[in-house]
Structure 1
């Protein structure tokens, strides 16, 4: 099977409180969910009807079995998910919407985690080479042997332009607890960027990758490093995407936030769906923005990923264009 989207990297069990608005010390009950950003992105794209898979490793334990089951439930190929030494990591968070605080606490990731034990020699380079989109994260570069595996995977990818419809995406998800310093992370990102078609990150993540500056300055530096689409998240001002010939800004889609942690992964999966659909960049951003907003209004991450109908309904409700609608109308007029 050729994957439309193949991701690599982090996977975990998310332990989220059922009690909202209190600290973890006051939570009385929790729910468990599939977690880990690259895995969530694969789930999000699968919800939009894409053939997805994830390359990662879990512990050989009940939580690992749970994650396999969840991936299959969401329609994500788990054939590249293998056991490794150590326990499957768990991630706890407190959910405090009123304060816009969603602190994360990582367990079972130090000094290492199974998903950082992905080895280059075990990769299916043909599957990586043939995937429509290959998605990786900066976190996967933080430690060996995962670092070398990520480099090998990126080197195996064909270097194609935007018109070829094949994309290599780097999520600039810098998390300081996994790195010795920002400088170390920047050096590793610099090795990968020449192999990347699309880079996605917020202001802080872009600053780690290419230095401080305005969103436009950061986008320009990413483009100069070889990226063809630089996506800079602007927080309350929405998101900006820049190519060498185009600059697009998508305004935010306001919702009542319940849990902001999964919004970026939902954005990523929907962004991949839009790229694979061949939509204009402005429509890709609007669709991804709406997808992220929907998940921000829900409790969990993977289980909260929206369907296309939910996304287009929200766009219509907010008076935003529906991706592909103009093309469909034009095609109908020709007929």
Structure 2
């Protein structure tokens, strides 16, 4: 089976407090959810009707079993998910301090974690080559053997052999606690950019990838590296996408923020759906922005990814263009 969206990399159990606005040490109860950025993107795209799968590894434990059940619940194909004996499934705690403070605490990731044990020889070459969108993150480059596997996957998926309806996306997701230095991350990113058709990141993430500068300068450097669509998130000013012939800015969709952590992953899944639907770039950005805003207004990430009807309702409410049913391509 050919996937619409195949992601690779981080997976975890996310533990979020039910008590909002208090430090983590004062929280009395928690809820647990499937997490990990590329895994959340697969969930988000599945909510939009896409056939999705994730390449990752989990611990041989009960939390690993929980994540398998969650992937099944969200209709994310887990044929590329395997267990690593002797390692525990990571758990990520978060404090919820809206509107802007959502610190993460990673447990079971150091010195290593199962999803950093993805190995080149275990990659499904046919699945990587045939999927319509292949999505990876910079975090997957931060430790071996995962880094080599990510690079090999991108080399398998040569840009010269892609069909017009295929895309290779690099989420510039940079987390400093996983790296020795920004320079080390930049060197790894440079190995993958020549194989990428779409790069997505905020100002800091773009700076790590291609250096400091204005959003336009950063986008131009990504395009110069071979990327066809450079997406630079502008914070309160929305998001910009730039190609060699087009520059589009989508204004933010204001909501009352509850938990901003899943917004980027929701944006990513919706962005994939828009690309595969063949929408104009501005419409793709508006749809992805609205999808991210919905998750930011909710507590969870994976469990709260929106459906197309929810995204379209928010777009209509805010006076934005709503994709018509005839323009939305739904996978058979």
Name the TM-score class by shorter chain: over 0.9
Q: Match of 1:254?
A: 254
CA-CA distance at 1:324 after TM superposition: 4.2
The DSSP-based 3-state class of the residue aligned with 1:309 is helix
CA-CA distance at 1:216 after TM superposition: 0.1
Whether the 8 Å CA contact 2:13–2:35 is kept in 1: the answer is yes
Q: Identify the range of structure 1 (25-34 vs 315-324) with the bigger mean alpha-carbon deviation.
A: 315-324
CA-CA distance at 1:256 after TM superposition: 0.2
Q: Match of 1:121?
A: 121
Q: Alpha carbons of 1:326 and 1:128: their partners in 2 closer, same or farther (altered >3 Å)?
A: closer
Report 1:1-335 matches (<5 A): 1-84=1-84, 85-98=86-99, 100-160=100-160, 164-324=164-324
The DSSP-based 3-state class of the residue aligned with 1:310 is helix
The DSSP-based 3-state class of the residue aligned with 1:213 is coil
CA-CA distance at 1:10 after TM superposition: 0.1
Distance (whole Å) between structure 1 residues aligned to residue 163 and residue 23 of structure 2: 48
CA-CA distance at 1:180 after TM superposition: 0.2
Encode CA deviations 1:125-148: one digit per residue, 9 max, x unaligned.
Answer: 100000000000000000110001
CA-CA distance at 1:161 after TM superposition: 8.8
Across the aligned residues of Structure 1 and Structure 2, the Cα RMSD in angstroms comes to 1.3
Encode CA deviations 1:210-253: one digit per residue, 9 max, x unaligned.
Answer: 00000000000000000000000000000000000000000000
CA-CA distance at 1:323 after TM superposition: 2.5
**TM-score when normalising by structure 2:** 0.97
The DSSP-based 3-state class of the residue aligned with 2:199 is strand
Whether the 8 Å CA contact 1:261–1:296 is kept in 2: the answer is yes
The DSSP-based 3-state class of the residue aligned with 1:110 is coil
Whether the 8 Å CA contact 1:117–1:146 is kept in 2: the answer is yes
Whether the 8 Å CA contact 1:186–1:208 is kept in 2: the answer is yes
Whether the 8 Å CA contact 2:240–2:250 is kept in 1: the answer is yes
The DSSP-based 3-state class of the residue aligned with 1:177 is helix
Q: Alpha carbons of 1:318 and 1:325: their partners in 2 closer, same or farther (altered >3 Å)?
A: farther
CA-CA distance at 1:327 after TM superposition: 5.6
Whether the 8 Å CA contact 1:162–1:228 is kept in 2: the answer is no
Whether the 8 Å CA contact 2:277–2:327 is kept in 1: the answer is no
Q: Alpha carbons of 1:214 and 1:108: their partners in 2 closer, same or farther (altered >3 Å)?
A: same
**TM-score when normalising by structure 1:** 0.96
Q: Alpha carbons of 1:160 and 1:282: their partners in 2 closer, same or farther (altered >3 Å)?
A: farther
Gaps of 5+ in 1: 329-335
CA-CA distance at 1:208 after TM superposition: 0.1
The DSSP-based 3-state class of the residue aligned with 1:20 is coil
Q: Alpha carbons of 1:118 and 1:327: their partners in 2 closer, same or farther (altered >3 Å)?
A: closer
